[in-house]
Copies of this chain bind each other. A is one copy, B any other.
Amino acid sequence: MSRIEIVDLKQNVLDDNDEMANKTRDKLKEKGVFLLNLMSSPGAGKTTTLVKTINLMKDKYSIGVMEADIDSDVDAIKIAETGAKSIQLHTGGMCHLDATMTEQGLDALGTDGLDLVVLENVGNLVCPAEFDTGATKNACIVSVPEGDDKPLKYPLMFQVADVVIVNKTDVLPYFDFDMEAFKNNVELRHPGIPVIPISAKTGEGMDKLVEWLEQQISR
């Protein structure tokens, strides 16, 4: 197993989070680094999706990953196996990442020469949506077993998302998940944002996700 760098994050309650986030975003833009903030419920498949995405993009892009977790480093180890530059961020019980914590992560990772950095946020559909991390774009993953009503129950997450990924489409036959109803629920919260169904397990739809990411990075 790879030896993973673990960074213990400290929250800074004094700074203005939005100001910090805008500074981070500007700085990354200047350096040509695209930062994707990846959010979802626990177990929706953020890490598996990320591993597949890295494997599809790593020949063309330099990719770095910050794996945020309350505890453990199981995800960072999986990411390191792809060859991507990766670090584990420990939030010390915190339920989300803010702009200051993200900045600490970016400093520890080192962004020189990277095209794409992915921040895998804490598995939580509520709190991460409340804090601008400074990411260029926000992605939210919902998995089929969670149900098609999630945009009704967790409105803010879908309002701040720039793209919604529906993972685990391979198990659609075993769940009462209505894709059209889900898309309508997303549309209610955030009109016009793309919804990309994928199965990170089988690879189905991954080309569409990579296409979306490449379009964003090239902007």
Chain A residues packing against B (C-beta within 8 Å): 41-43, 69-72, 74, 93, 95, 122-127, 130, 143, 145-147, 149-150, 152-156, 168, 170-171, 174-175
> Quick check: B122 and A124 within 8 Å, CB to CB?
no
Besides A126-B127, A171-B175, 20 more A-B contacts (Cβ < 8 Å) are A41-B43, A43-B145, A43-B150, A70-B126, A71-B152, A71-B153, A72-B149, A72-B153, A74-B153, A95-B124, A95-B127, A123-B153, A123-B154, A124-B127, A127-B127, A143-B145, A145-B146, A145-B168, A171-B174, A174-B174
Candidate in A125, A126, A143 with the most chain B CB atoms within 10 angstroms: A126
> Quick check: A123 and B125 within 8 Å, CB to CB?
yes
- A74 proximity list for chain B (CB < 8 A): 149, 152-153
Nearest CB on B from A160, distance (A): 13
Nearest CB on B from A198, distance (A): 15
> Quick check: A93 and B156 within 8 Å, CB to CB?
yes
How many copies of this chain sit in the oligomeric assembly?
Answer: 2
Tell me the bound Cα distance from A171 to B123 in angstroms: 22
17 A–B contact pairs at CB < 8 A? A41-B123, A42-B146, A42-B153, A42-B154, A43-B146, A43-B147, A70-B154, A71-B153, A72-B149, A72-B153, A74-B152, A123-B153, A124-B125, A145-B145, A145-B171, A171-B175, A174-B174
Tell me the bound Cα distance from A62 to B123 in angstroms: 36
Tell me the bound Cα distance from A130 to B153 in angstroms: 21
> Quick check: A153 and B69 within 8 Å, CB to CB?
yes
Q: In the complex, what residue of chain B is closest to A167 when comparing beta carbons?
A: B145
Q: In the complex, what residue of chain B is closest to A150 when comparing beta carbons?
A: B42
- A130 proximity list for chain B (CB < 8 A): 93
Tell me the bound Cα distance from A147 to B174 in angstroms: 17
